Amino acid sequence: MIVEKTKYSRLKNIDFNNLKFGEVFTDHMFVCDYEDGNWIDPRIVAYNKIEIEPSANVFHYGQAVFEGMKAYKDDSEKIWLFRPTENYKRISISSQRLAMPELGENIFLSALNELLLLDCDWVKPGIGNSVYIRPFIFGSEHCIAAAPSKKYKFMIILSPVQSYYSGSIKVLVAEKYSRAASGGVGYAKAAGNYGSQFYPTSLAQKEGYDQIIWTDSKNHKFLEEAGTMNIFVRIEDTLITAPTTDTILDGITRKSIIKIAEDKGINVEVRPISIDEVIEAHSKGRLKEIFGSGTAVLVSEISSFGYKEKKFDLNYIENSYASTFKSILTKIQYNLSPDPYGWRSEVGTIKV
Ligand code: COI
Pick the atom of ligand 1 nearest to 22's CA. 9
Pick the atom of ligand 1 nearest to 194's CA. 8
**Residue 208, class by beta-carbon neighbours within 10 Å (0-12 exposed, 13-18 middle, 19+ buried)?**
exposed
24 secondary structure, DSSP code: -
Q: Is 293 in the pocket of ligand 1 (CB under 6 A)?
A: no
Distance 90 CA to ligand 1 centre (A): 14
* 349 confidence band (pLDDT: 50, 70, 90): confident
For the cut 90, the answer to whether the pLDDT of residue 117 exceeds it is: yes
Q: Is 295 in the pocket of ligand 1 (CB under 6 A)?
A: yes
Pick the atom of ligand 1 nearest to 21's CA. 9
Q: What phi, psi does 335 have (nearest 5°)?
A: 60, 40
Q: Are strands 223-226 and 211-215 parallel, antiparallel or unpaired?
A: antiparallel
For the cut 70, the answer to whether the pLDDT of residue 191 exceeds it is: yes
Q: What count of other Cβ atoms lies within 10 Å of the Cβ of residue 338? A: 9
Distance 286 CA to ligand 1 centre (A): 30
Q: Is 296 in the pocket of ligand 1 (CB under 6 A)?
A: yes
Average pLDDT, the chain: 96
For ligand 1, atom 9, name the residue with the nearest CA.
296
Distance 132 CA to ligand 1 centre (A): 9
Vertex 37, ends 31 and 41: CA angle to 5°? 30
Residues near 257 by beta carbon (within 8 Å), at least 6 away in sequence: 232, 293, 299, 325, 329
Distance 116 CA to ligand 1 centre (A): 19
Q: What is the predicted pLDDT for the residue at 348?
A: 86
For the cut 80, the answer to whether the pLDDT of residue 261 exceeds it is: yes
Average the pLDDT over 86-113 and give the result: 97
* 243 confidence band (pLDDT: 50, 70, 90): very high
Average the pLDDT over 194-201 and give the result: 97
Q: What is the predicted pLDDT for the residue at 142?
A: 97
Q: Residue 193, SS3?
A: helix
Q: Is 294 in the pocket of ligand 1 (CB under 6 A)?
A: yes
Q: Output the CA torsion sign for 111, 117, 122, 124.
A: positive
Query: Which residue intervals of 170-291 are DSSP H helices?
Result: 191-206, 252-263, 275-283
Pick the atom of ligand 1 nearest to 69's CA. 3
For the cut 70, the answer to whether the pLDDT of residue 99 exceeds it is: yes
Q: What is the predicted pLDDT for the residue at 351?
A: 62
Q: Are strands 2-3 and 130-139 parallel, antiparallel or unpaired?
A: unpaired
**Residue 45, class by beta-carbon neighbours within 10 Å (0-12 exposed, 13-18 middle, 19+ buried)?**
middle
Pick the atom of ligand 1 nearest to 67's CA. 3
Average the pLDDT over 187-211 and give the result: 97
Residues near 202 by beta carbon (within 8 Å), at least 6 away in sequence: none
User: How many Cα atoms within 13 Å fall on the side-chain side of residue 21?
Assistant: 13
Average the pLDDT over 119-135 and give the result: 97
Quick one: how far is CA 153 from the chain centroid?
Answer: 20
Q: What is the predicted pLDDT for the residue at 199?
A: 98
21, 130, 169, 194, best to mutate for ligand 1 pocket (most atoms within 8 Å of CB) = 194
Q: Is 194 in the pocket of ligand 1 (CB under 6 A)?
A: yes
* 278 confidence band (pLDDT: 50, 70, 90): very high
pLDDT tens for 28-86 read: 999 999 999 999 999 999 999 999 999 999 999 999 999 999 999 999 999 999 999 99
197, 228, 297, best to mutate for ligand 1 pocket (most atoms within 8 Å of CB) = 228
Q: Is 253 in the pocket of ligand 1 (CB under 6 A)?
A: no
Share of the chain above pLDDT 70, in %: 99
Distance 57 CA to ligand 1 centre (A): 23
**Residue 151, class by beta-carbon neighbours within 10 Å (0-12 exposed, 13-18 middle, 19+ buried)?**
middle
Q: Are 298 and 37 in contact (CB under 8 A)?
A: no
pLDDT tens for 217-234 read: 999 999 999 999 999 999
Q: What is the predicted pLDDT for the residue at 352?
A: 61
Average the pLDDT over 140-165 and give the result: 95
Q: What is the predicted pLDDT for the residue at 164?
A: 76
- Tell me which residue of 89, 141, 162, 118 sits closest to 29, measured CA to CA: 118
Q: What is the predicted pLDDT for the residue at 107?
A: 96
For ligand 1, atom 8, name the residue with the nearest CA.
228
Distance 36 CA to ligand 1 centre (A): 31
Q: What is the predicted pLDDT for the residue at 200?
A: 98
Q: Is 228 in the pocket of ligand 1 (CB under 6 A)?
A: yes
Q: Are 109 and 115 in contact (CB under 8 A)?
A: no
